[in-house]
Structure 1
Amino acid sequence: MELRDLRIGYVPQKNSFDHPGDYRRFCYYADKRNIKFEIADPSEIYDVVFLTQSADLSIWSEYQRGNCKIIYDFIDSYLKVPKWNLKGLFRGSAKYIAGQSRYLRLNHWEALEAMCQRADAVVCSTSEQKTDIQSYCQNVHIILDCHFKLMRAAKTDYSVGDTFNFVWEGLPGNLKLTFGIREVLQSLSAKYNIALHVVTDLQYGKYMGKFCVKNTLPLAKKLFDNSYLHEWKEETLADTVCQFDMAIIPIPLNKPLWFDSSLAIGKPENKLLLLWRMGMPTVVSTTAAHKRAMDDCGLAMTCRTSNEWFDTLEKYMNDESARREAGQKGKAFADKNYSEEIILSQWDKLFASVFQP
Structure 2
Amino acid sequence: MSLKGLRIGYVPYDETLKRPGDRRRFCYYAARRGIKFEFAKPSETYDLVYVTHAADLTVWSNYHKGNAKIVYDFIDSYLAVPRFDKKGIFRGLAKYISGQYKYLQLNHWKTIQSMCQRADAVACTTLEQKQDILPFCPNVHLVLDIKSMYNQVKKDYSAGEVFNLVWEGLPHSINSFHEIRPVLSYLKKKHKIALHMVTALEYGQFMGKYWKRNTTDFVHELFDFDNIYLYQWHEQLCSHIISACDLALVPLLSTDIFDWNKPEDKLLIFWLMGLPTVVSANPSHSRAMKGAGLSMACQNQENWIETLEHYIRNEEIREEAGQKGRAYALKYNSDERILKQWDKFFSSVVS
Q: Which TM-score band applies after superposition, normalised by the shorter structure?
A: over 0.9
- Per the alignment, residue 334 of structure 2 pairs with 339
- Per the alignment, residue 280 of structure 1 pairs with 275
How far residue 264 of structure 1 moved from its aligned partner, in angstroms, is 1.1
- Per the alignment, residue 233 of structure 1 pairs with 234
CA distance in 2, matches of 1:83, 1:2: 39
- Per the alignment, residue 263 of structure 2 pairs with 268
- Per the alignment, residue 39 of structure 2 pairs with 39
CA distance in 2, matches of 1:277, 1:354: 32
Give, as a single letter, the amino acid of the residue that structure 1 aligns with 2:67: N
Secondary structure class of the residue paired with 2:135: coil
How far residue 135 of structure 1 moved from its aligned partner, in angstroms, is 0.1
Give, as a single letter, the amino acid of the residue that structure 1 aligns with 2:71: I
Question: Structure 2 matches for 1:83-102, cutoff 5 A?
Answer: 83-102=83-102
CA distance in 1, matches of 2:27, 2:298: 35
How far residue 223 of structure 1 moved from its aligned partner, in angstroms, is 3.1
TM (norm. structure 2) is 0.98
How far residue 340 of structure 1 moved from its aligned partner, in angstroms, is 1.2
For structure 1, which runs of at least 5 residues remain unmatched after alignment? Answer: 256-260
Give, as a single letter, the amino acid of the residue that structure 2 aligns with 1:249: V
How far residue 84 of structure 1 moved from its aligned partner, in angstroms, is 2.8
Query: Does the CA contact (< 8 Å) of 1:74 and 1:124 recur in 2?
Result: yes
Question: Structure 2 matches for 1:87-236, cutoff 5 A?
Answer: 87-148=87-148, 150-224=149-223, 225=225, 226-236=227-237
How far residue 355 of structure 1 moved from its aligned partner, in angstroms, is 2.8
User: Does structure 1 residue 317 correspond to structure 2 residue 312?
Assistant: yes
Higher RCO structure, 1 or 2 (CA under 8 Å, sep 6+):
2
Greater displacement, 38-47 / 220-229: 220-229
CA distance in 1, matches of 2:332, 2:231: 30
Query: Does the CA contact (< 8 Å) of 1:72 and 1:116 recur in 2?
Result: yes
How far residue 221 of structure 1 moved from its aligned partner, in angstroms, is 2.1
Runs of 4+, deviation exceeding 6 Å: none
CA distance in 2, matches of 1:351, 1:213: 38
How far residue 332 of structure 1 moved from its aligned partner, in angstroms, is 1.0
For structure 2, which runs of at least 5 residues remain unmatched after alignment? Answer: none
Question: Structure 2 matches for 1:57-96, cutoff 5 A?
Answer: 57-96=57-96
Query: Does the CA contact (< 8 Å) of 1:9 and 1:41 recur in 2?
Result: yes
CA deviations over 1:124-162 (Å, ceiling 9, x no partner): 0011111110100000000000011x1231111100111
CA distance in 2, matches of 1:221, 1:160: 25
Equivalent of 2:346, from 339, 348, 351?
Answer: 351
How far residue 345 of structure 1 moved from its aligned partner, in angstroms, is 0.7
Query: Does the CA contact (< 8 Å) of 1:198 and 1:220 recur in 2?
Result: no
**Number of aligned residue pairs:** 349
- Per the alignment, residue 258 of structure 1 pairs with none
Identity percentage of aligned residues: 52
CA distance in 1, matches of 2:118, 2:151: 40
Secondary structure class of the residue paired with 1:4: coil
Query: Does the CA contact (< 8 Å) of 1:286 and 1:304 recur in 2?
Result: yes
CA distance in 1, matches of 2:203, 2:330: 32
Secondary structure class of the residue paired with 1:167: strand
TM (norm. structure 1) is 0.96
CA deviations over 1:99-137 (Å, ceiling 9, x no partner): 000111110000000000000000000111111101000
CA distance in 1, matches of 2:235, 2:286: 28
CA deviations over 1:52-71 (Å, ceiling 9, x no partner): 00110111000000000000
CA distance in 1, matches of 2:220, 2:165: 14
CA distance in 2, matches of 1:77, 1:278: 27
CA distance in 1, matches of 2:238, 2:114: 38
CA distance in 2, matches of 1:9, 1:161: 51
Secondary structure class of the residue paired with 2:4: helix
Query: Does the CA contact (< 8 Å) of 2:3 and 2:350 recur in 1?
Result: no
Secondary structure class of the residue paired with 1:5: coil
How far residue 85 of structure 1 moved from its aligned partner, in angstroms, is 1.7
CA distance in 2, matches of 1:127, 1:96: 30
Give, as a single letter, the amino acid of the residue that structure 1 aligns with 2:63: Y
Give, as a single letter, the amino acid of the residue that structure 2 aligns with 1:310: I
CA distance in 1, matches of 2:220, 2:160: 22
Give, as a single letter, the amino acid of the residue that structure 2 aligns with 1:195: A
How far residue 339 of structure 1 moved from its aligned partner, in angstroms, is 1.2
